[in-house]
Amino acid sequence: MAEKGVLQRYLSVGEVARRCGIAVSAVHFYERKGLISSIRTDGNQRRFHRGVLRKLAIIKVAQKTGIPLSEIGDAFEKLPPNTVPTAKDWEKLSSQWRDDLNDRIEQLTRLRDQLGQCIGCGCLSISDCPLRNPYDELAGDGPGARLLEVEEE
Amino acid sequence: MAEKGVLQRYLSVGEVARRCGIAVSAVHFYERKGLISSIRTDGNQRRFHRGVLRKLAIIKVAQKTGIPLSEIGDAFEKLPPNTVPTAKDWEKLSSQWRDDLNDRIEQLTRLRDQLGQCIGCGCLSISDCPLRNPYDELAGDGPGARLLEVEEE
DNA sequence: GCTTGACCTTAACATTAGTTGAGGTTTTAG
DNA sequence: CTAAAACCTCAACTAATGTTAAGGTCAAGC
C-alpha cells in the first residue's frame, strides 16, 4: 500500500499489460526481444518503470505503420539508455517512421492506380496494361523485366 | 522437341518459375496451397497450362497490396474452375482488391498525419496529442479507450 | 495462515510464406 | 548411351510475432 497512490513508481507486468491494452505474454515477449526492460523484486517479479508505457505506446504506433520489431529495437538502442524517451527522441523516431510510412503509402497508391487502370484492360493487353509494363516498380526482382511476361510468344 | 515452338501448350515448373520471376519452391508451394494446379507427365513431372502464368501474376500483384494467400485462394475458388481467368474475372478481383487497398491507404494516411502532428507534441501532452486521443481508430482493441493511457495518474 | 490471483520459467505450438536439403527419378543434349 | 540438368517427394528449417500450457512461487486479503 505504501508505494501505491499518488506516485506509484513501479508497475507490475499485469498493470503494464492492462494499461497498454496488450497481453502479459506480449510484454514478456518484448522484454525478451530487448525492447523494454525491468527490474525485479526480491520475489523475482518484474517491476517496470513508468517509461515503459511510453515505449510500448511507441511500439504500437510503429507496428501500425508496418515497422518490424527488430527495427523498433534498433531505434530504441540509439536512444540514451535507461531513460524515458524524451520529446526529442520521439520526434526523431516519429519523423523517420513517418517518412517510411509515406514511402509505403506512395507505393500502395501507385499500385492502386495501376489496378484501377488494369480493371479496364483485364491484363489481356501486352501493350496497354501498366501491370505488364516492365519498367515500373512492379518489376525488378530479377535480372531484366519479366514480371508479367505471360504470353509473349 | 515436337511440342515446343510456336504453340507450346504446357510449361514445366522451371519455365513457369523463370517466367514469373519466382522460385520453383514457391510454385510448388502455391500448388500445395491450391492456388494453382498442374497435370503430370508419365514421368510424374508437373506440366502447367499457360493460364497459370496469369494466375501467378495476379498472386504477385495481390500480395503487393497486402492480401494474404488464403484470401487470394478464396477469390480463385470463386472463379469458374479449370479455365484461365478472363478479363471479367480479373476485373472483379482487381476492383475488390483495389478497394481493400484504398482502405489500407486511408488508414496509413491517417496514421501518418497523426504522426506528423505528434512530432510537435512529443507524445508528452495528454490533451494535445492525437495519438493519445482515445476516440480515434488507434484505440479500440479493448473495452473503452486506453491505448496510450500512459500517465494519467 | 491460508486461499486465491498474479506472477515466474521453459517449452511447445500457431500462423504466414516460403526455402533448403536429402535421396531418388526423368528428361535432354551431345 | 550417357552425363548433366531438371525434376520429384518429404521433412525440416527460417523468420516474425506472439500465445498457451505445465509446473511451481509470490503476495494480498480475510
Q: Which of B64, B91, B122 sits opposite A119 (nearest CB)?
A: B91
Dihedral over alpha carbons B135, B137, B139, B141 (to 10 degrees) = 130
Q: Which three three-digit cell numbers place residue B125?
A: 501532452
The CA-atom distances, in angstroms, between B34 and each of B25, B68, B95 are 14, 14, 23
- DSSP string over A8-59: --EE-HHHHHHHHT--HHHHHHHHHTTSS--EE-TTS-EEEETHHHHHHHHH
- Checking if the pLDDT of A104 tops 80, the result is yes
Say which amino acid occupies A109. Answer: T
- Which residue is it, cell 484461365? B84
**Residues of B in Cβ contact (< 8 Å) with A125:** none
Q: Name the nucleotide with the smallest C1'–CA separation from B43.
A: C26
- Write the burial class of residue B138 (CB in 10 Å: 0-12 exposed, 13-18 middle, 19+ buried): buried
- Checking if the pLDDT of A114 tops 90, the result is no
Distance, angstroms, CA B86 to C1' D12?
39
Give me the domains of chain A, ranges plus CATH numbers. 2-117 (1.10.1660.10), 120-153 (no CATH)
Whether the Cβ atoms of residue B26 and residue A119 lie closer than 8 Å to each other: no
Whether the Cβ atoms of residue B8 and residue A153 lie closer than 8 Å to each other: yes
Select the more confidently predicted residue: B45 or A61: B45
pLDDT tens by residue, chain B, 153 residues:
444 444 468 999 999 999 999 999 999 999 999 999 999 999 999 999 998 998 998 899 889 888 899 999 998 888 776 666 777 777 887 888 888 888 888 888 887 887 766 665 555 444 455 565 443 444 333 333 333 444 443
Cβ-Cβ contacts under 8 Å for A109 (sequence gap 6 or more): B105
Q: Name the nucleotide with the smallest C1'–CA separation from B41.
A: C26
Please state, rounded to an integer, the average pLDDT across all residues of chain A: 75
Closest CA in chain A for residue B66: A108
What is residue B3's predicted lDDT score, i.e. its pLDDT?
A: 41
What is residue A1's predicted lDDT score, i.e. its pLDDT?
A: 40
pLDDT in tens, A43-55: 999 999 988 998 9
Using DSSP bridges, classify how beta strands B10-11 and A39-40 pair: parallel, antiparallel or unpaired.
unpaired
